[in-house]
């Protein structure tokens, strides 16, 4: 048996490749550090699309896991070959009886084609599934504005903002629009991202499985406060949701004390009423969020701050400090006036 000939060094047309330099020592450190940065994103408070709580999110998570599985398989196979080649070193003998060309055809053409075909079928099937119209959905209109979300329940006659209630076990149909620039509505645990586009209505349908507080985001860069354009769904059992609807339809209640009454008078006569609506009062502005039920919201300003009396007072007197660039101007008020308006707004629930 003759020893196979050592392959001759590759000829690069006279160009001699320089030996591969060793990676600098800190490369491993940098890699580890970047890994830590990525892991820091896995904060347990962050909603995850891989923790689906609704029909659409379920479908999307299935596609995600299929993609992940296939990618992991390719990674392991390719990595295995790399490790094998490294261990084996540069020897000329044939690896197996399979011809080298067969490897190229299988690994470079047939394998990728099969994988892409499987993914294409899964993706098209999932997309069709998501577009399937549902019977008797709860229809709501959600509009993206810089930087908050307006939410209207046309059949129930409810208008609210940023935080809104939905029932479980009933199909939801969100008709998405934008009033200004492109936004993207995304509640990872419930559904995929959908763009909110000016002069166009995009429809998002899903059913929620479990009651809960589901946080979402604007997922399309839309200006300086894009990161503070949060949205949240409070999902409730159908009975509880109906009670919420009934309560919303009977808002607002009359002020229950002198301070609230003064707050209401100020709210309607000061700049507030130019931009905000409180149903049943003279305040009918439409530039900013409808505040008819603001007292029951957990957050303000597109989930940017918690809705406590102290934070609300800061927001009313100097909103630019908390969320620069938003439309709300600073308002000159005495401490007593601020307290009165806050008391009134907090009573709207």
Shortest Å distance, C-beta 220 to ligand CUA = 5
Shortest Å distance, C-beta 218 to ligand CUA = 3
Residue closer to ligand CUA by CB (options 160, 162) is: 162
Shortest Å distance, C-beta 271 to ligand CUA = 25
Residue closer to ligand CUA by CB (options 229, 291) is: 229
DSSP assignments along 171-205, one per residue: EEEEEEEESSS-EEEE-TTT---EEE-BT--EEEE
Q: d(Cα 276, Cα 290) in Å, to the nearest integer?
A: 6
Residue closer to ligand CUA by CB (options 144, 289) is: 144
Shortest Å distance, C-beta 178 to ligand CUA = 8
Residue closer to ligand CUA by CB (options 103, 221) is: 221
The footprint of ligand CUA (CB under 6 A) covers 144, 147, 183, 218, 220-222, 226, 229
Residue closer to ligand CUA by CB (options 52, 188) is: 188
Q: d(Cα 281, Cα 267) in Å, to the nearest integer?
A: 10
User: Considering only CA atoms, which of 148, 139, 196 is closest in space to residue 170?
Assistant: 139
* Contact assessment for residue 172 and residue 218, using Cβ atoms and an 8 Å cutoff: no
Q: What is each CA distance from 296 to 83, 165, 265, 316, in whole angstroms?
A: 59, 11, 21, 17
Shortest Å distance, C-beta 302 to ligand CUA = 9
Query: 231-236 and 163-167: which strand pairing?
Result: parallel
Residue closer to ligand CUA by CB (options 176, 235) is: 176
Shortest Å distance, C-beta 301 to ligand CUA = 13
Shortest Å distance, C-beta 221 to ligand CUA = 6
- What does the block give as tokens for 207? 């059913």
Q: d(Cα 245, Cα 207) in Å, to the nearest integer?
A: 18
- What does the block give as tokens for 143? 């509009």
Residue closer to ligand CUA by CB (options 218, 291) is: 218
Query: 183-186 and 212-218: which strand pairing?
Result: antiparallel
């Amino acid at each position: 048996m003759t020893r196979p000939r050592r392959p001759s060094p590759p000829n690069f047309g006279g160009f001699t490749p320089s030996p591969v330099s060793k990676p600098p020592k800190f490369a491993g450190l940098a890699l580890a550090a970047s890994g830590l940065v990525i892991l820091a994103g896995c904060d347990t408070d962050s909603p995850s699309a891989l923790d689906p709580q609704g029909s659409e999110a379920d479908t999307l998570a299935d596609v995600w896991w299929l993609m992940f599985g296939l990618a992991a398989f390719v990674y392991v196979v390719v990595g295995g070959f790399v490790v094998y080649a490294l261990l084996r070193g540069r020897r000329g003998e044939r690896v197996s009886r399979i011809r080298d060309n067969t490897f190229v055809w299988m690994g470079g053409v047939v394998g990728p084609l099969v994988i892409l075909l499987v993914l294409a079928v899964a993706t098209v099937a999932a997309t069709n599934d998501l577009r399937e119209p549902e019977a008797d959905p709860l229809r709501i209109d959600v509009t993206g504005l810089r930087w908050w979300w307006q939410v209207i329940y046309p059949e129930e006659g409810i208008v609210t903002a940023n935080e809104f209630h939905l029932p479980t076990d009933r199909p939801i149909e969100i008709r998405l629009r934008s009033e200004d620039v492109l936004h993207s509505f995304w509640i990872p645990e419930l559904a995929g991202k959908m763009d909110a586009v000016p002069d166009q209505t995009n429809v998002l349908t899903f059913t929620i499985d479990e009651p809960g507080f589901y946080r979402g985001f604007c997922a399309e860069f839309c200006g300086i406060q894009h990161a503070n354009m949060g949205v949240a769904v409070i999902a409730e059992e159908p009975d509880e949701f109906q009670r919420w609807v009934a309560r919303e339809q009977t808002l607002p209640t009359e002020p229950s004390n002198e301070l609230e009454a003064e707050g209401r008078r100020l709210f309607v006569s000061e700049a507030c009423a130019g931009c905000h609506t409180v149903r049943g009062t003279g305040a009918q502005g439409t530039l900013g969020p409808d505040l008819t039920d603001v007292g029951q919201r957990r957050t303000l300003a597109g989930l940017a701050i918690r809705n406590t009396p102290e934070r609300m007072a800061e927001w009313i007197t100097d909103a630019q400090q908390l969320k620069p660039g938003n439309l709300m101007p600073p308002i000159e008020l005495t401490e007593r006036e601020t307290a009165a308006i806050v008391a009134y707004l907090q009573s709207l629930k």
